[in-house]
Structure 1
Amino acid sequence: MSKPRIAIAGFQHETNSFSHLSADLPEFEMADSWPPFLRGEEVITQTHGMNLPIAGFVAAAEANLHPILWCAAEPSGPVTDRAFDNICAEILDSIPADIDALYLDLHGAMIAEGIPDGEDELLRRIRTQVGPNLPIVISLDLHANVSPELVEHASAITMYRTYPHLDMADAGARAYRALTQILQGHGPAKAFRQIPYIIPMHAQFTGATPAGPLYAAVAAYDATGQWAEFATGFSGGDCPSTGASVIAYAPSQTDADRIADDLFAQVIAAETEFNQPLPSPAEAVQRAMSLPTGKPVVLADVQDNPGGGGSSDTTGLLRALVSERAQNAMHGVLHDPQAATIAHKAGVGAELTLGLGGKSGQFGDEPFETTCTVAALSDGEVVYEGAMYGGGTAQIGPTALLHLTEGGADVKVVVSSVRNQCLDLAYFRHIGLTPEKARIIAVKSTVHFRADFDPIARATIPVASPGALGCLLTEVPYKHLRKGVRIGPNGPPA
């Protein structure tokens, strides 16, 4: 039998409805944590060996692949209509008429300016063009907000099963295996269940309970011809599909329903365990300073995570580090192009008085007025070392290390020109710091940092400092949730 001809494409965005930023075409064209906009054979050559779903699909595929495009933008507010329509049109115009199947590397939490479910709208447009019978398999992020319509439009779906996302490439490889099964005439029955409560992002860490055991249960369903997926959802998206869900695939509808019902019951039973309180910045710094020295304590600024649409410039945790006179502390990555430019012009050793961070003006936050010393400068090329993105490179623009000693504090802040999530020790090492020797490391990340930071940490403490990725869900100003879904574990209904 000749090898099947499969078209492949990727269009990734995680949309935070409460972010003041937006994703237009330039945001999809630039390189940041991930590659720039790729077309044609670049899709294969420029993602080769990376922990990306499309790379995993390509590595697993025994097929004639027709690469179309792959693009992603840093999480932010909605995708502009211009970007969404142009990228969708380019995908649609490039789908050959004679393909046997289509694979799409998507996120699952995309919202465009006038479209509450970007992935479903893309699939709807593709189905209108190619018809109902073409096998279309997609891979989604663990944080997908999955709608019934998306499940219906896709022949099959695979998802990441780890947070931090160490298995993105594996999700792509599983998508190829699912597509092979369909092409061999064994298309599975499917069952979909939406979980009736929203899970806060910091509680979705799969290295702890309850998420870890739940994903072990998901993996246990894997067998020839059947599998299950669990999306913990993206609480930053304000739309009817916001929240967790489970999908099951099996040879018969009876088996698919049985698996979905079983997994649904397990997620319902874990609801109370997902309710995980967060200390204030001051409380977190005090606790960190009270712990024995020798290993750093990591404080996670979980609500100002740029990887979830945060501005990465709010100053709540930074202020607490200074006011509580934290010693041997590192903080990163604070997004402040203005401060980075001033530091580069002044040079290493210069003393500066400036308003640091707070430029986005959200949540009543303002720049932190301080006097500091320029300790080091870099071009912002960060070569990843950790398990999640190891081998890749981040471009965070001209970057400065500022040393704050106000009131007896000892805090060094990594300040970037490009917004980027601090999920790798290399963000500190590339500018001359040794994170292992710090007493406190404050990171603007929710969970992804844990793959690289947890092994060196004495303790990890998520912190409730202001930011666009609300983890205290009853404080999030939702307007478009489906009626009745609980706003947080055991929370009030929408």
Structure 2
Amino acid sequence: MARIGVLGFLHETNTFAPGPTELARFIEADAWPGLVEGQALLDATGAMNLAVSGFVAAMRDTGHILAPLLWCSANPSGPVADAAFDTIVSRMETLLRQAGPLDALFLDLHGSMVTEHLDDAEGELLQRLRRITGPAIPYVAALDFHAIITQAMVDQTQAMVAYHSYPHVDMADTGARAARMMQRLLAGESFHAAWQKLDFLVSMPWQSTLGDEPAGKIMAQARALETLDRPEVQFIPGFPNSDTPESGPAILAYASTPARAQAGVQALAQRVSGLQQAFSGTLHTPDQALQIARTHASLRYILADTQDNPGGGAAGDTTGILHALLDQQLSGAAVALLCDAPFALAAHQAGTGSTIRLPLGGRSTPGDPPVEGDFEILALGDGKFVGTGPFYQGCRMELGLMARARIQGVDVLVSSRKQQAADQAMFRHLGADPQDYRILVLKSSVHFRADFSALADHILMVKAPGANTADLRELRYTRLRPGVTIL
């Protein structure tokens, strides 16, 4: 019987987004729990689609003892403030020292955290923890699909497992995979790692693993390469809006021998090479997308406002597509979620059924001006509800005061905390059914597909101003290693 420490520290860092990301963002809850310590960690994260939840559930009947220490996350945004990183890691170190003897450590990480002065924050975190535990005990980490793998991360862990899917409907399943690796390590097995960094960047909208997308084909090939003695062969596309020397996809494998691990990496690398140029798609301007929707008036459309996706580090408050809807006088549409805490508060003060005249959104850069006009307040909510879709399943949302407001026949779902529109429960919390709209404008890149795709005849990627740049060629990378191609 082993005693296993449990830690989590997640942030997807968009180095091009205005920052820094301060400590308060990790302390507050949003779609996921705020910073939590000790036994409360298990209650706060239980029964959610999170890696830590899946790990805990999978270990429950194994006879091993879990020692929950600390878990926190913050919505994707600009570089993490050095002071915030140091505060959280120092607290982790204190709790680890106080935890008593541990036989292993599970870590729920994102894998692409960058601070003001650290390119590889996870590598630094792991090294600092190792100074306390020593090199002998096994570390198993769960990683995001968009993790940026580094040598330090590989060196400091016995195994790392990343999500297989985008949308990330398998986060809890990934925790269960981590638990299986942990049990094999505790039983005395050892795994050899092999990995390879790939020299290209893929924009987020084209990383989907659904349908016939290239990432989906690669994932299927990776699963075909896995065996009992080579349990993990992974394609990890990385987070492209990160300007660091290690940015880019990676292939990572674990096997009983170095040769078996390396063979898995090489086989998958050949598959990726053959599909590299297939990572592409069409970005529409708001006017182009709405003209398509107008021309095919009998069809239902989702317009993905990908560049204002909070899940990629954007502010979630831009108004480009909303302005276009109003300019083209298209009704029967809804925009979700637009983050504007002052507007939500004013809506609550005015009450349901009232009309308020207040600027909405448009506070962030890059972005269009606020929308001004008369807004009818249709519904109000406290922002506390449970996710029901495959991605946010079980997540106890805390998005602050929310409102559904209508202007010129267009409904806007407003929140006080930014969160990408990836769950139909966001609509139902405000008395709306997403099926009632012919045009859904969703501030998301890919995650929305898990819960909304069935509602649309067509999905269009829309390029309106926002900090989550979709055409990577528009970004001014200055720190990429030589030879990296931007697709």
Per the normalisation by structure 2, the TM-score is 0.95
1:58 correspondence with 2:56 = yes
Alignment of 1:91-102 (within 5 A): 91-95=92-96, 96=99, 98-102=101-105
Amino acid at match of 1:211: A
Residue of structure 2 equivalent to 1:89? 90
Alignment check: 8 A CA contact 1:195 1:268 kept: no
Q: By how many angstroms is 1:54 displaced?
A: 0.9
Paired with 1:440 and 1:34, the residues of 2 have a C-alpha distance of 28
Q: Which residue of 2 aligns with 1:371?
A: 374
Aligned sequence identity (%): 40
CA contact (8 A) 1:296 1:437 kept: no
Paired residue secondary structure (2:6): strand
Alignment-derived partner of residue 18 in structure 2? 20
Residue 353 (str. 1) matches residue 357 (str. 2): yes
Q: After superposition, what is the alpha-carbon deviation per residue over 1:466-489, rounded to whole angstroms, capped at 9, x for unaligned? A: 1111110000122222222112x2
Amino acid paired to 2:334: M
Q: Which residue is 2:79 aligned to?
A: 78
**Mapping 1:176-215, distance limit 5 Å:** 176-208=179-211, 209-215=213-219
For the pair 1:278 / 2:283, whether they are aligned, the reply is: yes
- My pick for the range that moved more, 277-286 or 372-381, is 372-381
Q: Deviations for 1:105-148, whole angstroms, at most 9, x for unmatched residues?
A: 00001111211111111011122333322211111000101112
Write the distance in 2 (CA, Å) between the matches of 1:194 and 1:177. 26
Q: 1:328 aligns to what?
A: 332
Alignment match of 1:241 (pick from 246, 258, 263): 246
Q: Does 1:341 align with 2:345?
A: yes
2:162 to 159, 164, 167: 159
Cα 1:364–1:23 change in 2 (3 A) is closer
Instruction: Check whether the contact 1:51–1:169 (CA below 8 A) recurs between aligned residues.
Output: yes
Amino acid at match of 2:242: G
User: Which residue does 2:6 correspond to in 1?
Assistant: 8
Question: Match of 1:369, SS?
Answer: coil
User: Matches of 2:304 and 2:289 in 1, distance apart?
Assistant: 10
* Distance in structure 2 (CA, Å) of the matches to 1:151 and 1:255: 17
Alignment of 1:214-293 (within 5 A): 214-226=218-230, 227-293=232-298
In structure 2, distance between residues paired with 1:64 and 1:372: 54
1:66 Cα deviation (Å)?
A: 1.1
Alpha-carbon deviation of 1:165? Answer: 0.7
Whole-angstrom distance in 2 between the partners of 1:364 and 1:301:
12
Aligned amino acid, residue 218 of structure 1: A
Partner amino acid, structure 1, of 2:90: A
Q: Distance in 1 between matches of 2:221 and 2:251?
A: 12
Q: What is the CA-CA distance between 1:372 and the residue it aligns to?
A: 2.7
Deviation at 1:364, TM superposition (A): 5.2
In structure 2, the residue matched to 1:142 is 145
Aligned-partner Cα distance in 1 for 2:329–2:267: 50
| Alpha-carbon distance in 1 for matches of 2:374, 2:44 | 43
1:132 aligns with 2:135: yes
> What's the secondary structure of 1:271's corresponding residue?
helix
Structure 2 counterpart of 1:492: none
Distance 1:336 1:353 in 2: 14
Q: 1:364 and 1:381, CA in 2 relative to 1: closer, same or farther beyond 3 A? A: closer
Q: In the alignment, what sits opposite 1:393?
A: 396
- List gaps (5 residues or longer) in structure 1: 490-494
The residue type paired with residue 35 of structure 1 is P
Task: Tell whether the 8 Å contact from 2:282 to 2:461 is kept in structure 1 after alignment.
Answer: no
Matches within 5 A, 1:397-476: 397-405=400-408, 410-476=409-475
In structure 2, C-alpha distance between the alignment counterparts of 1:217 and 1:364, rounded to whole Å: 40
- How far did 1:215 drift? 1.0
Aligned residue pairs, count: 480
Q: Answer yes or no: is the 8 Å Cα contact 2:167–2:450 preserved in 1.
A: yes
Work out whether residues 232 and 244 of structure 1, in 8 Å CA contact, stay in contact via their aligned partners in 2: yes
- Contact 1:9–1:105, Cα closer than 8 Å, also in 2: yes
Q: Verify the 8 A CA contact 2:253 2:264 in the aligned structure 1.
A: yes
Q: Cα deviation per residue 1:385-409 (whole Å; 9 max; x = unaligned)?
A: 212222322122122222111xxxx
- In structure 2, stretches of 5+ residues that fail to align are none
1:414-465 alpha-carbon deviations (Å, 9 max, x no partner)? 1111111111111112112121121100011111111110122222111111
Preserved CA contact (<8 Å) 2:200 2:249: yes
User: Aligned letter for 2:160?
Assistant: I
Deviations 1:136-183 (A, max 9, x none): 111100010111221122111101001111111111111121122222
Distance 1:289 1:391 in 2: 37
What secondary structure sits across from 2:90 in the alignment?
A: helix
SS in 1 for 2:359: strand
Distance in 2 (CA, whole Å) between partners of 1:411 and 1:196 is 43
Query: Which range moved further: 260-269 or 388-397?
Result: 388-397
Paired with 2:22 and 2:265, the residues of 1 have a C-alpha distance of: 37
Q: Contact 1:337 / 1:418 at 8 angstroms: preserved in 2?
A: yes
Whole-Å separation in 1 of the counterparts to 2:161 and 2:226: 12
Whether 2:178 is the aligned partner of 1:175: answer yes
Change (3 A) 1:382 1:459: farther
195-204 or 44-53: which moved more?
44-53
Give me the whole-angstrom Cα distance separating, in 2, the residues matched to 1:330 and 1:8: 41
SS in 1 for 2:485: coil
For the residues of structure 1 that align with 2:233 and 2:332, how far apart are their CA atoms? 46
User: CA 1:364–1:468 in 2, change beyond 3 Å: closer, same or farther?
Assistant: closer
The 8 Å contact of residues 367 and 466 in structure 2, kept in 1 or not, is answered as: no
* 1:235 CA drift (Å): 1.2
**3-state SS, counterpart of residue 149 of structure 1:** helix
425-434 vs 443-452, greater mean Cα deviation: 425-434
Which of these residues, 34, 37, 53, is aligned with residue 36 of structure 1? 34
Q: Which amino acid in structure 1 is aligned with residue 277 of structure 2?
A: T
CA distance in 2 between counterparts of 1:341 and 1:92 reads 39
Aligned mates of 1:22, 1:233 — CA distance in 2 = 21
Query: What is the rounded CA distance, in whole Å, between the counterparts of 2:258 and 2:466 in structure 1?
Result: 43
Moved more, 125-134 or 282-291: 125-134
1:119 aligned onto 2:122: yes
1:397 partner letter: G
